[in-house]
Amino acid sequence: MPELPVVEVVRKSLHKNIKQKKIKKVIIRNRNLRIKIPVNFKSFLIGQKVIKIDRFSKYLILHLSNNSYCLVHLGMSGTIHLINHNKKNNLTNTSFYHSPILPPKHNHIEIIFKNFRIIYNDPRRFGFFQIIKNLNLLKKRFRHLGPEPFQSKFNLEYVFSFFKGKEKNIKNYLLDQKFVSGIGNIYANEILFLSKINPNKKVHLLKKNDCEKIINISKKVLMNAIKKGGSSIKDFKNLSGKNGSFQKNFKVYERKGLSCKRFKCEGVIQKKVISNRSTFFCNICQK
């Protein structure tokens, strides 16, 4: 599943390429994404300029020249490819996630500009496009989501008071989008390892100091992934279509049975299912 850093890499790439560009044509090959593409989707987009591309959590937000928005969510397996019309570009994927070149199948939507086109590929079709008519509706759309780790609202006061009296474990809350937006399973595991906190720990038992660690490390882990993701795009050829090189840097994720990477820790990485997600942690240094 593309996590927040992947979506941010896509955002940057799209922003660089389609900002201030006018949509000439739209091709829809399959309307049946997670949310059905509405019949007026084409006519709504054609002729609009894309002013800029923002992101909130894992949602891409295309600002259009008529003051409306087009949301794009990559779901479980979505990728966006950029194809130049004039010069051949072999590496078309706008992120380091999945195939670096355009796959032959599952290309559901094409948005065509003057010199290039962007193509939405999604084998599992859990992603979606959605037109949002104005800023008020956009705000409403995200009202149910908690702050991103990068936002100033995600601070000690917010986190500590949110956890007061709550019985569920910390892993559960890091994945709860009502508490914090955009932390997926991979990064929740990494954040807890770096914070030295056991994923099973009930949140009301966390000290202020623990909460502070979680806040700072969440920002750091996601920022690092964005940086590495960005730079791994040019290494695509060496990766033979596999995941970005940043994955080798995981401390606990997918490391079941291997020794702990923390200096002088003799622990072994465990794997357990917590709130229905694979959870990896060190049996010694995460308390």
Instruction: Name the residues annotated as catalytic.
Output: 2-3, 58, 277
Q: With CB under 5 A as the contact rule, which of the stretches 126-134, 152-160, 194-202, 260-268 interacts with Zn ion?
A: 260-268
Q: Which two tokens stand for residue 62?
A: 């295309």
Binding mask 181-200 for Zn ion (x = CB under 5 A): --------------------
Nearer to Zn ion, 137 or 258 (CB): 258
Q: In this chain, which stretch among 128-136, 148-156, 211-219, 264-272 interacts with Zn ion, using CB under 5 A?
A: 264-272
Piece in contact with Zn ion (CB under 5 A), picked from 85-93, 119-127, 135-143, 252-260: 252-260
Least Å distance, CB 287 to Zn ion, is 10
Between residues 45 and 221, which has the closer beta carbon with respect to Zn ion? 221
Least Å distance, CB 217 to Zn ion, is: 15
Question: Which one, of 200, 141, 142, lies nearest residue 170 by Cα?
Answer: 200
Is position 265 an interface residue for Zn ion (rule: CB under 5 A)?
Answer: yes
* Residue with smaller CB distance to Zn ion, 215 or 285: 285
Q: Where are the alpha helices (DSSP H) in 82-207?
A: 135-141, 156-163, 170-174, 185-194
Pairing of strands 128-132, 59-64: unpaired
Per CB under 5 A, which of residues 267..286 are in contact with Zn ion?
267, 282, 284-285
Block residue for tokens 């590929």: 121
Residue 74 or 282 having the CB closest to Zn ion: 282
In the complex, what is the shortest distance from the CB of residue 267 to Zn ion, in angstroms, rounded to a whole number?
3
Residue 19 CB neighbour total at 10 angstroms? 14
CB of 262 to Zn ion, least distance (A): 4
Closest to 107 (Cα-Cα) out of 91, 88, 127: 127
Collapsing DSSP to helix, strand or coil, 213 comes out as: helix
Query: Which of residues 24, 262, 271, 277 is near Zn ion by CB under 5 A?
Result: 262
Candidates 60, 74, 260, 269: give the one binding Zn ion (CB under 5 A): 260
Q: Among residues 220 and 251, whose Cβ is nearest to Zn ion?
A: 251
CA 169/CA 187 separation, integer angstroms: 16
Nearer to Zn ion, 35 or 258 (CB): 258
Question: Phi then psi for 60, rounded to 5 degrees?
Answer: -90, 140
Stated as kind and residue range, the H or E segment containing 262 is none
Min CB(282)–Zn ion separation in Å: 3
* Contacts (Cβ under 8 Å, ≥6 apart) of 163: 173, 203, 204, 206, 211
Residues 39 and 239: their CA atoms lie apart, in Å, by: 39
Range in contact with Zn ion (rule: CB under 5 A) among 78-86, 225-233, 243-251, 257-265? 257-265
Q: How far apart are CA 22 and CA 39, in angstroms?
A: 21
Rounded to whole angstroms, how far apart are CA atoms 278 and 250? Answer: 14
Query: 205 — phi, psi (to 5°)?
Result: -90, -10
> Least separation, in Å, of the C-beta of 215 and Zn ion?
22
Binding site residues, Zn ion, CB under 5 A: 260, 262, 265, 267, 282, 284-285
